[in-house]
Structure 1
Amino acid sequence: MELRHLRYFVAAAEARSLKLAAENKLHTTQPSLSRQIRDLEEEVGAPLFVRGAKGVELTPAGRVFLDHARVMLSQAEVAVQSARQIAYPTKPSFAMGFMIGHDMTWLPGALRLLRDDLPNIHIVISTQNSPQLASALLHGGIDVAFLRREDGSADLAFRTLVDEPFEVFLPADHPLAAKPFITLSEMANQTFISVSGTALSLSGKQPALRRAIDKFLHENDVMIKPSHEVDNLGGVVSLIVSTHGIALLPVYAKVFLPDTVTTRPLEGVGPKIDLSLGYRKANPSPILKVFLSRVNELTADVIANHKGDQ
């Protein structure tokens, strides 16, 4: 498997058309792209696309693979940019990390903020899961990250940006989808899908998202054992489709939803989880200091834009 295969796969998945991806994004021929996709599917050992008259759609395996492909490409780009910056240090560099999905909301404003004050810096972007971002912060791979409060290291500092509510994610044709809200007792009788409890954080504990879900269920005396566990949100959504199950997730995960999946609020007061800005306390970067001085402004802008979209 080569990075070329991953780039071709992501382009086809985003365009939902081999023809459009080949012509508009990759500047190659459709037969060539088709061969690359077949080679990738053979390497993975599973079909990643369903071909149809209107284009291509991701299979459940393809949706899971898409998240990982984006992370791998992002990490490869970070590696290249970091090496170039060391070899040719013409501009000060600043590396930002975003949880997958949150980059759509927070990245544009973060870039504007930096470009306003520091137009001549080199910015590197990385998108990963929260435990991976915390590890990258700790080891100096990135300067700042939008992530959960992953505990386990006194060397990291966190500033809460927003507290995100949860909703129930379920198939659009599920009987509970016809209800205005869903009770915990109704959830207890369903196939329940959760994020993995074995994708360890810095502390060796479960990821913050899994701990928040389990804590909420425990505090409400509801015993729900996950029928399936996945280490990324794309995989959770794929399992909702394939198993006709339900999941409890932060509302930002709606960016991953196909038309066949919808959400409903919980009855009463549901759980919340932080989205925080994390950084290493000993990081001497002057760019980091500028960024931290304007974080409140960034948060206010994002919240205002979100309300305007509702």
Structure 2
Amino acid sequence: MELRHLRYFVAVAEARSLKLAAEEKLHTTQPSLSRQIRDLENEVGAALFLRGTRGVELTAAGRVFLDHARVMLSQAETAVQSVRQIANPTKPYFSLGFMIGHDSTWLPKTLQILRDELPNIHVVISTQNSPQLAAALSQGLIDVAFLRREDGGPGLEYSLIIEEPFEVFLPKDHPLAAQSVIKAKEIVGETFLSVSGTALSVSGKPPALRLAIDRYLKERGLDIRPSHEVDNLGGVMSLIASTRGIALLPAYAKTFLPDSVTTRPLQGCSPTIDLSVGYRRVNSSATLKLLLSRVDELVAEVPNHA
């Protein structure tokens, strides 16, 4: 498997069309792109797309693979840019990390703030899951990240941006979807799905998202154990569709919502989870200080960030 196969796959997934991806994103021919996608499917051993007259849709396997493909491409780009910066340090260098799905919300305004003040800055973007971002921060691989308040080891600082509400994610044709709101106790007895508790953070503890879900259920006195666990939100969506299960997730996970899945708010005071800006305490970067000084402005000017 080569990086170009991953790039082709992500382009088709985002365009939802082989024709559009070939002509507008990749500047290649549709037959050539189709062959590359078939080669990738043969290598991973699963169909990644459903082909139809109106374009293509990701299969359950494709939705899971999309998260991992984006992470691998982001990590490869970060590695290349880091080496180039060391070899040719002509521009100020600053690396940003975003959780997958949050980059589309927070990246544009963040870049605008940086480039308004530092027009010559060279910015590298990394999109990963929150525990991976915490690890990258701890290792000094990125300067700042938009992530959960992970227990990422000593030396990390977090500045709260927003508190994201949880919602119930469930199949559109599930009986509970007929209700405008769902009581927490109504989840008992359903096939409950959750993010993995074994996708460990740097400290060896479960991810902050899993801890927040478990804490909410415990506070409500609900003894609910996940029937299935997966380490990415795309995988959770696939499980909802395939098992007719239910999941509690932050509202931003609607970014990954397939046509067969919908959401409903919880009745009463909804639980929340922090989205924070994380950075290393010892990072003395002037660019980092600039960004931190304008976090309030960033939050105020980013619409629909819940």
- Which residue is 1:264 aligned to? 264
- Which residue is 1:57 aligned to? 57
Does 1:71 pair with 2:71? yes
Find the aligned partners of 1:272 and 1:25 in 2 and give their Cα distance: 37
Range with bigger deviation, 85-94 or 13-22? 13-22
Find the aligned partners of 1:160 and 1:24 in 2 and give their Cα distance: 38
After superposition, residues 146-295 of structure 1 pair within 5 angstroms as 146-295=146-295
Please list the CA deviations of residues 151-179 of structure 1 after superposition, one character each: whole Å capped at 9, or x if unmatched.
Answer: 14220000111111100001111111110
SS for the counterpart of 2:236 is helix
Q: How big is the shift at 1:202?
A: 1.6
Find the aligned partners of 1:15 and 1:151 in 2 and give their Cα distance: 36
Find the aligned partners of 1:53 and 1:180 in 2 and give their Cα distance: 34
- Which residue is 2:22 aligned to? 22
SS for the counterpart of 1:166 is strand
Q: 2:193–2:226: 8 Å Cα contact kept in structure 1? A: yes
Q: How big is the shift at 1:270?
A: 2.2
> What is the aligned residue count?
306
Find the aligned partners of 2:127 and 2:90 in 1 and give their Cα distance: 25
**% identical aligned pairs:** 73
One-letter code of the match for 1:257? Answer: L
Q: How big is the shift at 1:258?
A: 1.8
Please list the CA deviations of residues 86-132 of structure 1 after superposition, one character each: whole Å capped at 9, or x if unmatched.
Answer: 11111010000001111111111111111111111101110000000
Q: How big is the shift at 1:230?
A: 0.5
Q: 2:159–2:278: 8 Å Cα contact kept in structure 1? A: yes
- Which residue is 2:42 aligned to? 42
Find the aligned partners of 2:54 and 2:106 in 1 and give their Cα distance: 33
Range with bigger deviation, 287-296 or 188-197? 287-296
Q: 2:134–2:152: 8 Å Cα contact kept in structure 1? A: no
One-letter code of the match for 1:71? Answer: V
Q: Which blocks of at least 5 consecutive residues in structure 2 are unaligned? A: none
Find the aligned partners of 2:293 and 2:269 in 1 and give their Cα distance: 33
One-letter code of the match for 1:250? Answer: P
Does 1:296 pair with 2:305? no
Find the aligned partners of 1:54 and 1:152 in 2 and give their Cα distance: 45
One-letter code of the match for 1:108? Answer: P
Find the aligned partners of 1:245 and 1:306 in 2 and give their Cα distance: 27
- Which residue is 2:101 aligned to? 101
SS for the counterpart of 1:185 is helix
SS for the counterpart of 1:167 is strand
SS for the counterpart of 2:277 is strand
One-letter code of the match for 2:170? Answer: L
- Which residue is 2:135 aligned to? 135
One-letter code of the match for 1:306? Answer: N
Structure 1 segments of 4+ aligned residues over 3 angstroms from their partners: none
- Which residue is 2:84 aligned to? 84
Please list the CA deviations of residues 49-74 of structure 1 after superposition, one character each: whole Å capped at 9, or x if unmatched.
Answer: 11111111110000010011011111
Please list the CA deviations of residues 3-40 of structure 1 after superposition, one character each: whole Å capped at 9, or x if unmatched.
Answer: 01101111111111112211221111212111111111
TM-score (norm 1): 0.96
Find the aligned partners of 1:259 and 1:49 in 2 and give their Cα distance: 15
Find the aligned partners of 1:24 and 1:121 in 2 and give their Cα distance: 28
TM-score (norm 2): 0.97
Find the aligned partners of 1:88 and 1:54 in 2 and give their Cα distance: 46
Find the aligned partners of 2:51 and 2:76 in 1 and give their Cα distance: 29
Q: 2:168–2:182: 8 Å Cα contact kept in structure 1? A: yes
Please list the CA deviations of residues 155-209 of structure 1 after superposition, one character each: whole Å capped at 9, or x if unmatched.
Answer: 0000111111100001111111110111122111211110000000121111000
